[in-house]
Amino acid sequence: MLTSLSSRIERPGSEAGLTIVEVIVAAAVLALGAMATFGVLSAATKNTQRAKATQVALNRAQQEIEALRGLKNEELALTATPEHSSSPLNPNYRVNNNAYATIREPPSAYATLVVKNGPLYGGGFVKGGVVSPGPTPFTSGDVSGKVYRYVVWRDDSNCPAATCPGAQDYKQIIVAVKLDTPDSQSGERGYVEVTSDFVDPDDNALNDPVPGASGVVTAQQFYLSDTPCAASGTTVRQAIAGDHLLHNTRGTCASGLQTGTTLGAPDALLLGAPPDPAPEDPLDPLKYDYSDDFYLEPTPDTDKGVQIRRDDTSGCHYNPVGKTNPESQVHRWVTDPLASAFVVNEKVTLEFYTRSLNGDLHTGTLCVYLFKRQEAGSPPVATDTLLVNKSSGAAYWEYKPEKNAPWPTDWLRIRFSMILSQATYTIPAGSRLGVALSVERSNTPADAIPIMFDHPTFPTRIEVDTNTPIDGG
């Protein structure tokens, strides 16, 4: 009995029990288990936060839709054209000039944006637009983001063309909400969107068709841009990042962007109005100098837009007679090749913004040219046919303030109508319509006259009376 008991008593110094290695392994196992548990909990928390944020975004988008649907039809138009974004995670990625891709991935089914002062099929312009395209920031609890709004024209495929002419049968509203990425998360978030059709029962094509739409006269708008025209296809407006050298516009579109004395592509006449990256901020975008060449810089340096130097001799010259920097004495813009024959009905109106350099007081005369451009050969050679002034028989029009008053000393919008010698003039399919500006010397004692364009506050454009409007213009 004693022997049995003594055999079960451990001797002093025995190594039985847990070793340090076993303790470390056990601690590691416990730590890994805890990490896995915490990882699952963290992922679940993040997923819950994402789901909550997504629901907040959807609720916000739906609230915006309901607010927009409460507007009157004439109010339901954007106050400015949204600016294209290069990021696919930004809803403005789907903006292309004056159109918005109604299909998200890949961006397609582009529809024309309804923008204040944009054209209406049947004549006139969109008035009273009150919808800011955004992005408008918002905060709801711990969720924040930005709201983007779009209004586009839609064509009713179920309504025959005789009853619903054109592609402006009703409007569609799209609201996108892009959430900010919290500091605790990585990567840029995408966006959610909600859409809704808007049909005014008192003002849709089924109840109020345009009488005699096939022969109706409307005004087609083309905006003067600071983007060189594409050699073929559709020109995409480029963002203006700052002051730059004068574009030489005396070549063909195939010449590409050139500065100095090298013949370059004319700038483009585009269908869409200049975009506004921040409609709520009147100082964004800034006004830039499009002719930042040393010989065009006044003292003090206050010029913006493009400076057009007066010609070396009196009169209006489509091709400058000056031999030194003639590219600064005429500036040209052309449309993309027209997809179908485009009829100009006698009247074209130029709406432009101008002022004198440094606010100096002097008279001035601006020469305006309208032309048809046909290109042929390789490399292409341009043949320009100038349209003729009905009242003078000359191939240009002259604008000067009434009674030859001084040129405006601060930015001023001017509307100048030009009547063609022909009641109708056809620009054939594949050709381009162009406008050019120069400065007459004898009545302009200043070195140059600035013209501002391609800015949301200064949307210089031409309005062409036509009965063959371009859908999207």
- Res 73: pLDDT: 87
- A 10 A CB-CB count for 326 gives 18
Per-residue pLDDT in tens (0 to 9) along the chain, 473 residues: 444 444 444 455 555 566 787 778 777 777 776 666 655 555 555 556 667 788 888 888 888 988 898 888 888 999 999 999 999 999 999 998 889 999 888 898 899 999 988 777 766 778 888 999 999 999 988 889 999 999 999 887 777 777 677 788 889 999 999 998 877 666 777 898 888 888 765 554 434 444 334 445 567 889 999 999 999 989 999 989 999 999 999 999 999 999 999 999 999 999 888 888 877 777 889 999 999 999 999 988 889 999 999 999 999 999 999 899 999 999 999 999 999 999 999 999 999 999 999 999 999 999 999 999 999 998 899 999 999 999 999 999 999 999 999 999 999 999 999 999 999 999 999 999 999 999 999 999 999 999 999 998 899 999 998 888 885 44
Confidence at residue 282, expressed as pLDDT on a 0 to 100 scale: 78
How far apart are alpha carbons 385 and 366 in whole angstroms? 20
Buried b (16+ CB within 10 A) or exposed e, 1-38: eeeeeeeeeeeeeeeeeeeeeeeeeeeeeeeeeeeeee
3-state class (DSSP) for residue 302 = coil
Q: How does DSSP classify residue 246? A: P
C-alpha 304/C-alpha 75 separation (Å) is 33
CATH number of the domain located at residue range(s) 217-466 in this protein: 2.60.120
Whole-Å CA distances, 154 to 84, 112, 136, 172, 205:
21, 8, 25, 7, 11
Residue 470, CA distances (Å) to 91, 167, 341, 343, 400 in order = 26, 10, 10, 11, 31
The residues, ordered by sequence, that sit 6+ positions from 2 with a Cβ below 8 Å of its Cβ are none
Residue ranges per domain, the chain?
58-198, 217-466
Query: What is the pLDDT, as a whole number, of residue 119?
Result: 76
Q: What per-residue confidence (pLDDT) applies to 294?
A: 93
Is the CA virtual torsion 172, 84, 308, 354 positive or negative? positive
CA–CA distance, 318 with 371 (Å, rounded to integer): 10
Q: How far apart are CA 447 and CA 299, in angstroms?
A: 12
